[in-house]
Amino acid sequence: LSPVCLGSLRRAASINAEYMGKEGWLRKQSRHLKQWRRRWFILSENKLYSFKDKKELKTPTEIIDLKVFSSVKSSEDYTNKVNSFDVYSPDFVFSMVADSESEKEDWIRAIGRAIVLSHSKTLVKDPHSDEDDDNSE
């Protein structure tokens, strides 16, 4: 991304440029109408942002918090779409399609890493918590 795009993106969606993992075009399936729409996606830390246009990054069409998702894997058998993959939560499956097999694999790796890291951050014990594990008797 250009410095101008990064600046407007950080202001608009609170994305930290240091933690930007991946960006690119994907098609995503809309939740209600189940239509496939082309969107520009940016993966940053534990969030996946989608935009209608990569030049217009002021307002994401969707912000997906990966903390609530448990896994990501290829889904061509399920969607009948080449280069498709799904991101799974206990309540929802989010389907996307990449432009190529290598892009699909890159997205699966990047999103999978972000899911694992988001879960490991929530498991780190807060040293300021009031719980006293050793003296609970």
pLDDT tens digit sequence for 53-78: 988 888 999 999 999 999 999 999 88
Provide the pLDDT for residue 21: 77
Provide the pLDDT for residue 20: 59
Provide the pLDDT for residue 120: 80
Torsion of CA 8, 9, 11, 16, to 10 degrees: -130
- Strands 36-44, 20-29: pairing is antiparallel
Provide the pLDDT for residue 118: 87
Low-confidence ranges of the chain (pLDDT < 70): 1-20, 121-137
